[in-house]
Structure 1
Amino acid sequence: MAIIELGESIPALTPHASSVSLPTWSDNVAYEEGQERVLSKMTTGYPRFFIHKAIVAFAEDVAKKFGKPGCQAMLFPSSRTARSCASFMQSRDSSVTAEEVQIADLVLDKLRADSDMLKKVSPSISAVIFPAALFPLAKQYWQHSGDGVSSRRAEFCHALLLDSLLVEQTALQPISNGFQKACKGPRRYQRGSMDKTPSTLHQDGQESPDTYHQPGIYPPQEARESTQFLEERFGRNLDVSFVDNAKSAIRRRIAGSLMGEVDLSKAPSSEMSSNMRGVVELSEDDVYLYPCGMNSIFHTHRMMLEAREPLKSISFGFPYVDTLKILEKFGPGCIFYGNGSSEDLDDLESRLESGERYLALFCEFPGNPMLKCPDLQRIRKLADKYDFGVVVDETISNLINVHVLPYADVVVSSLTKIFSGECNVMGGSAILNPQGRYYTALKKVAEVEFEDNYWAEDVIFMERNSRHFVSRIERINENAELICNILKGHPLVKDVFYPKYNSSRACYDACRTPNGGYGGLLSFTFHKAAQAVAFFDRIETAKGPSLGTNFTLTSPYVILAHFLELDWAAQFGVPADLIRISVGLEDAEDLKSTFSAALKAAEAVDS
């Protein structure tokens, strides 16, 4: 494939992509160092780290309209999430006063928006407005929690703000006689409005680039009158009446009771016929959807704290960066076992025997990027004996390959990855185990605390993308093993990290489904760092953050995730020159050719 230009979205020309092209090793280093030559070319980035330009443009207008001079805004999908951000800012910096941090709740003016579609979607935004100097603190919350607004929601709501249809909630006061005269909004939002412009979606649901969709670019008022935007964007291509059924389809796929397509125009049957999760009495009501994977972890931790009591958690195994940050910064903290070894479990057991108590153990199965698997069977026994929860992130393995729910109280996942595959929409999920010790307590908390902030457009894209995830996973499993075998057989490759070949394979196999494979993610190292650089620069795949894409995606993962803590990562056996490969659906012979050419570049380093 042609290398995607530096700073372009992955996939190219995808307005809401969840990856960005960093095609050389030096580009990745320069990005982490904040060099202008890279940052100036970034059209987008990984959504929790790089705030989408459409969100930035919207936030600027909100700050200008509702804030004081010199203020900035951070946007959230609800009042509760915005207030959570404000509370975090004040808890992390005692000098931040309540007066400095303003909340603006923006809601649809339903009297002016004469549209059933708009009323059903009920678009809203809550902004945290603060002095510009506090932006890094607000950004911490945005990144760690995943609570921030999605780029599609931001685009949609920004246009409403520009047309004065999104207003401060406090401004919606009835006049003295209790009635307010309805004032119709712009023509395009009224019933019967018809847009004659071409659709911006292909028949397969994928977006096409157009002028409006370029991040941060908004057409003038008169141009928007004739641009397909709201009514038609939903009404013709993304029928809002299907959203509830789409959510049900997604939940059922996650529960393992729906494999393949479903007619969204028909309400789903009231009962699930079966599930593939290995746990009886699992219902789609036990599956909760979130705007992104990290958000599912963030809120699962919060639910655990509410359902039990404020206790330290356990972070077991080398974790994805923000999982550890959540456990450290929100609540009483955690103990960290970065190796995730049997010796670590021995130490934990000793602590437990001495009387120490914990909230929950959080782990990934397998871990990222070393693909090591925790001993879930032993962890489950310790949890039952010493009364702590078990939260397992199955993003990398997925339900087709493994059954981890029998060992967990909650299973979380990033739907952004293999479940979607298209790299154009975010999503996350949490499954409560109905057989778990804390199930009843967690359900009670969820009834009060769970907030459905998954934006309707994102739901529709996620449902479409996930229809064939089973067959995609099977193909990706095969391709990943092919790549592993190529790498393991090459003399310059020092180590290959993959569940099938790791020392923890027995832990993976204990949870593997009868026909399950070992997933599509692998990492490896060369004997020399220069060989890794030469390989990375030469390989003709997409190169950027994220994983689980339908196309092969290569990343110098440790550079991107732990650039400021490389020595810390190294003490857990995670080397800076590691290359991580998320294997895609390409033809096997094409993959062989691609990797062969890159390995020859590595061979040329010493020639």
Structure 2
Amino acid sequence: MLQALGGPVPPNTDHAVSFSLPTWRSNIGYEEGEEWVLGKMQCGYPRFFVHPIIQNLVREVVQRVGNPEKDTATLFVSLKTARICHAFFMSKIPQERSQEVRIISFVPSPRTEAGSVSSPLVGVIYPQEFASIGKEVWQHSGNGISSRRGEFCLRALQDGFLVEEKSSATDFTPQRPCKGPRRYQGRGSLSGPSKGSTPAPSSLASTATSGVDDGRDYAQFIEERFGRNLSAQHADQAKVAIRRRISGVLTTNVELPEALETASSEGRVDDISEDDVLLYPSGMSAIFNAHQTLLTARGALKSVCFGFPYTDTFKILQKWGPGCLFYGHGSSEDLDDLEKRLQNGERFLGLFTEAPGNPLLKTPDLARIRGLADKYDFAVVVDETISNFLNINVLRYADIVASSLTKVFSGDSNVMGGSVILNPHGQYYPKLKETYTQEYEDIYWAEDAVFLERNSRDFMSRIGKINATSEEIAGMLNDSPLIKDVHYPKFSPTRPLYDSLRNPDGGYGGLFSVTFYSDAEAIAFYDTLEVLKGPSLGTNFTLCSPYVLLAHYGELDWAKSFNADPSLVRISVGLEEVADLRSRFQRALDAVEKARA
């Protein structure tokens, strides 16, 4: 049952989203950067750890266009996402060193066949000493390339189907950014140094150099390397099916051909269509780009972060644009304060919140928030990842709903994805629709879409079982005198707010958190619990993590001030049988009792 330290979660998965931290001590060792943990990591959560495949691609890119002894790179798929990264660097490094950070581009060679799957590759090259800045963009924006795309680009680059773009003139002149959306218009090291020559630098270009033609046919390259998973038509169809499921116009568990034919005229709200759903490479990318789109549509206004948030949402609002007003408790008193500010003339871009929140599972008063938004002219952006749209309907109160499809929508923990849904009845819908039409880039990789579509076919049937099992196990722990608190929508003081959002057949979701009366008891519970352990949630298997420790290790006192206990243990319930899970949790409770004695 238990996976070895650093191994992929789930085991034997090349593109696993999580990795194993089987003991409390290993979580601390990971956060402290201790070699006995880092040296065993075969993978990691993709926004916090650069997959070995992508590390190899970075080395290949730097060897071709940089200095392998001193440079590294952060890789994207479009010039727009690379420019966002470049602008962030320009805001962080000394002016006199700005020329050391540059954008490079690779494009499909003339040998690539029209209509086939292909991928550009755009990188930001910079000195390794600036790697922490690159890590911020990689982690917070979620716009970086996926490991599957990285695998494709590495092989295409090596086989001459992806070539450097060159020009005699400079297409892109970097500008030092200012706050606001105009700045975007113009993990440790992402790779270690590698040996090799240092080619002369190049700028973005209009004419591509051709690769070495070894006589290989591009279709043969695709078939031999990737097989049927890289059919362009198949990928496009998969994206349509995914968007239909998310909009709610596809509500049955069907194979792809039927998904393309079967659609209801009714969805999550009246008049919604699959065209109101946009796909992104991660849930964080969906939130990041929702914020960017609002800045473009409405101008450079401060945002509101309401409730104790997932860490990167808060960081996005702090680090890009004019900043944010933070209400960490997400209480009615916080809304009172916000209302007073609005009455006194303060104005905001939008309010970002989660329903329910992670990891305290509190539900915000979306009806009151919607009323304030309509009266005082700000957008409402809701992250629904934790409970998902089958359990609750938040779209009626939101202008934008974001979700991480990496989680329960996929379930298999082997592919990343994210979505944005626009409310066709929202006050900003026409302007947002226009802005997204102009600004949106479909950078979701074809192969990732194929895997996500397959994984999500049984999404609806999985949710019912996960809801029922979670309610059973959370109730078992809530009844135990060994547990201090169980954070779960059913047992939360904000349950009436959650229930007001519940769909007729909706449940309380598959995630809950528990706290204990001492750190020793929390450690005993975590170390004894016989489930897979690592970051992420919404998996088809039960997954456990000391969430606050991992997400806020450098700011534990700050987190505690918002009632996020540093020894909190977060549990995402999977598809195991209830009796089996009850036995495992009982053994963990027995260990808590021994630790107390």
Q: TM-score, normalised by structure 1?
A: 0.89
Aligned to 1:495: 485
Residue 197 of structure 1 corresponds to which residue in structure 2? none
Letter in 1 for 2:116: K
* C-alpha separation in 1, matches of 2:343 and 2:107: 53
Q: Aligned equivalents of 1:590 and 1:327: distance in 2?
A: 42
Match of 1:231 among 223, 243, 251: 223
Q: How does 1:111-130 map to 2 (within 5 A)?
A: 112-113=111-112, 115=113, 119-130=115-126
1:138 corresponds, among 134, 138, 145, to: 134
**Percent identical:** 54
Deviation by residue 1:419-464 (Cα, 9 ceiling, x = unmatched)? 0000000000000111011111111111111000000000000000
**Rounded Cα–Cα distance in structure 1 between residues aligned with 2:143 and 2:130:** 18
Q: 1:324 aligns with which of 292, 314, 336?
A: 314
Q: Is the 8 A contact 1:242 1:264 kept in 2?
A: no
Alpha-carbon distance in structure 1 between the residues aligned to 2:94 and 2:432? 32
Residues of 1 paired with 2:225 and 2:462: CA distance? 28
Q: Tell me if the contact between 2:222 and 2:230 (Cα under 8 Å) persists in the aligned partners.
A: no
User: C-alpha displacement at 1:252, in angstroms?
Assistant: 0.5
Structure 2 residue aligned with 1:170: 166
- Among candidates 497, 520, 534, match of residue 544 of structure 1: 534
Tell me the C-alpha RMSD between the 2 structures: 2.1
Cα–Cα, structure 1 residues 21 and 513, in superposed 2: closer, same or farther, change >3 Å?
A: same
| Structure 1 residue 341, shift from structure 2 partner | 0.3
CA distance in 1, matches of 2:165, 2:17: 32
| 1:169 partner SS | strand
Does the aligned pair in 1 maintain the 2:163–2:208 contact within 8 Å?
no
**Secondary structure in 2 matching 1:429:** strand
Q: CA separation of 1:587/1:238 partners in 2, compared to 1, >3 Å: closer, same or farther?
A: farther
Structure 1 stretch 129-138 or stretch 316-325: which is displaced more?
Answer: 129-138
- Give the match's secondary structure for 2:515: strand
Q: In the alignment, what sits opposite 2:369?
A: 379
Q: Answer yes or no: is 1:559 the counterpart of 2:558.
A: no
Cα deviation, 1:38-95, whole Å, max 9, x if unaligned, reads: 0000001000000111101100110111013511111111111111101111113344
Letter in 1 for 2:270: V
- Taking the aligned partners of 2:428 and 2:208, their CA distance within structure 1 comes to 48
**In the TM superposition, what are the counterparts of 1:11-410 in structure 2 within 5 Å?**
11-68=10-67, 69-95=69-95, 97-110=97-110, 112-113=111-112, 115=113, 119-170=115-166, 185-186=213-214, 189-191=217-219, 193=220, 230-264=222-256, 268-269=260-261, 272-277=263-268, 279-410=269-400
Report the CA distance between 1:417 and its aligned residue. Answer: 0.2
Alpha-carbon separation, structure 2, partners of 1:565 and 1:257: 42
Aligned length: 560
CA distance in 1, matches of 2:513, 2:533: 14
Change (3 A) 1:556 1:57: same
How many Å separate the matches in 2 of 1:172 and 1:400? 54
Tell me which amino acid in the other structure corresponds to 1:273: S
Q: Counterpart of 1:230 in 2: which secondary structure?
A: helix
| Rounded Cα–Cα distance in structure 2 between residues aligned with 1:102 and 1:389 | 35
Contact in 1 for aligned 2:165/2:209 (Cα 8 Å)? no
Deviation at 1:10, TM superposition (A): 0.1
Return the offset for 1:232: 4.1
In 1, Cα distance between the equivalents of 2:462 and 2:361? 20
Q: Which moved more, 1:77-86 or 1:378-387?
A: 77-86
Partner residue in 2 for 1:470: 460
Is there any run of 5+ residues in structure 1 with no aligned partner, and where? 174-178, 194-228
Amino acid across the alignment from 1:8 = G
Deviation at 1:257, TM superposition (A): 1.0
**Paired residue secondary structure (2:552):** helix
| Equivalent residues of 2:229, 2:450 under 8 A apart | no
Deviation of the 1:97 alpha carbon: 3.9
Letter in 1 for 2:84: S
In the alignment, which of 511, 515, 518 is matched to residue 528 of structure 1?
518
Bigger drift between 481-490 and 260-269 goes to 260-269
> Are the structure 2 counterparts of residues 180 and 377 from structure 1 closer, same or farther at C-alpha, using a change threshold of 3 Å?
closer
2:410 is paired with a residue of what secondary structure? coil
CA–CA separation in structure 2 for the residues paired with 1:313 and 1:76: 27
Distance 1:549 1:158 in 2: 29
Amino acid at match of 1:33: E
Matched-pair contact (CA < 8 Å) for 1:109–1:172: no
Q: 2:406 aligns with which of 404, 412, 416?
A: 416
C-alpha change, 1:66 and 1:187, in structure 2 (3 Å) is: same
Aligned twin of 1:6: 5
Structure 2: which amino acid aligns with 1:76? F
1:452 alignment partner in structure 2 = 442
CA distance in 2: counterparts of 1:455 and 1:120, whole angstroms? 13
Secondary structure of the corresponding residue to residue 580 of structure 2: helix
Contact 1:418 1:549 in 2 (8 A): yes
Q: Secondary structure at the match of 2:490?
A: coil
Q: Give the counterpart letter for 2:109 in structure 1.
A: D
Tell me the distance in 2 between the aligned counterparts of 1:96 and 1:370. 45
The 4+ residue runs of structure 1 with deviation greater than 6 A are 179-184
Q: CA deviation at 1:186?
A: 4.5
CA distance in structure 1 between the partners assigned to 2:383 and 2:145 by the alignment: 23
The alpha-carbon distance between structure 1 residues 188 and 461, as it changes in their structure 2 partners (threshold 3 A), is farther
Distance 2:142 2:129 in 1: 22
Q: Partner letter of residue 528 of structure 1? A: S
Secondary structure of residue in 1 paired with 2:125: strand
- Please state how far the C-alpha of 1:401 moved relative to its aligned partner: 0.3
Single out whichever of 561-570 and 95-104 deviates more from structure 2. 95-104
Say if 2:508 is the partner of 1:518: yes
Which letter does structure 2 place at the counterpart of 1:93? I
Q: Contact 1:242 / 1:265 at 8 angstroms: preserved in 2?
A: no
| Equivalent of residue 486 in structure 1, options 456, 462, 476 | 476
Which of 392-401 and 77-86 deviates more? 77-86
In structure 2, C-alpha distance between the alignment counterparts of 1:422 and 1:578, rounded to whole Å: 25
Counterpart of 1:107, as a letter, is V
Aligned residue number for residue 590 of structure 1: 580
